[in-house]
């Protein structure tokens, strides 16, 4: 069966007819171009070992060893995204983009489903290319050349924000709070020029963005709230329905994602590998 690339919904592409453990250079090149063009690519029925998952990731670049997620006991390159049947809180249950708190944010994440609930547990992805393109002109002018502040402390640190203090994600699923406490806050452009596509995208997110450079707290909050409202209420999202062996590979510089927490009483285990990125402009 020949490889086929098909757009899914509003954005993203599902790629079929390919075995990621045995990719030719030609197939890899086509997948790379689809990733650049669509911002997120999806695969089905990938029977990959942990070594094959890592090998696929290494074809894209250097792997980022996650500092805060629990790691696979035998493969430190793989972060475990797990919710046990008895746990109430999931990981990633709100709109965000991974690693925006790093000085050089991650390129993207490659998430492979190992165990999924009988229903629920889908992930929403939103295109920040489309969100930027749909901004009113006055807001494009307002954010041009402006930078926002991103931080990990209030999510992963010792003094987390109030709604996370009693979350059971901190019971063996998140760690290294002391590392987050001393991680310096960073700034990135609100309207970035994507290093691969050259397109503009909105690069703030409700989880890790805490302010706007050059604005007081209230003015920064108001600008971010306006951007978030636009991104959430616009028609920029697609929903991916997981099955065992499904994989999503998203570009952190061009997308948001949201893991739905609607499968209480069932276990879900995902294996995530994150790739190092490059400075943003």
Please give the positions annotated as active site: 96, 98, 257, 272
Rounded to an integer, what distance in angstroms lies between the CA atom of residue 247 and that of residue 243? 9
Name the DSSP letter for residue 114. Answer: E
91: closest CA among 170, 169, 153, 171? Answer: 169
- What's the length of the chain? 281
Name the DSSP letter for residue 21. Answer: G
Task: Tell me phi and psi for residue 15, to 5 degrees.
Answer: -115, 120
* Residue 108 exposure: Cα atoms within 13 Å on the Cβ side: 25
Rounded to an integer, what distance in angstroms lies between the CA atom of residue 100 and that of residue 183? 12
């Amino acid at each position: 069966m020949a490889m086929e690339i098909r757009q899914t919904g509003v954005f993203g592409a599902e790629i079929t007819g390919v075995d990621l453990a045995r990719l030719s250079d030609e197939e890899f090149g086509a997948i790379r171009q689809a990733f650049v063009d669509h911002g997120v690519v999806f695969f089905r029925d990938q029977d990959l070992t942990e070594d094959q998952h890592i090998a696929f990731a290494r074809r894209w670049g250097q792997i980022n060893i996650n500092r805060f997620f629990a790691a696979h006991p035998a493969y430190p390159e793989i972060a475990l995204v797990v919710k046990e049947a008895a746990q109430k809180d999931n990981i990633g249950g709100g709109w965000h983009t991974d690693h925006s708190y790093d000085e050089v944010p991650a390129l993207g994440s490659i998430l492979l489903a190992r165990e999924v609930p009988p229903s629920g547990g889908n992930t929403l992805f939103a295109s920040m290319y489309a969100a930027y393109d749909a901004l009113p002109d006055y807001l494009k002018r307002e954010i041009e050349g402006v930078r926002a502040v991103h931080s990990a402390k209030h999510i992963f640190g010792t003094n987390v924000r109030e709604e996370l203090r009693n979350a059971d994600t901190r019971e063996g699923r998140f760690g290294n709070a002391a590392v987050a406490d001393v991680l310096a806050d960073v700034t990135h452009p609100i309207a970035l020029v994507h290093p691969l596509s050259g397109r503009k995208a909105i690069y703030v997110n409700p989880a890790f963005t805490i302010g706007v450079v050059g604005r007081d707290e209230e003015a920064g909050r108001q600008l971010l709230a306006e951007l978030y409202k636009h991104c959430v209420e616009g028609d920029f999202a697609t929903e991916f329905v997981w099955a065992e062996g499904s994989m999503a590979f998203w570009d952190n510089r061009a997308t948001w994602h949201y893991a739905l927490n609607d499968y209480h009483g069932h276990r879900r285990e995902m294996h995530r590998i994150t790739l190092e990125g490059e400075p943003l402009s």
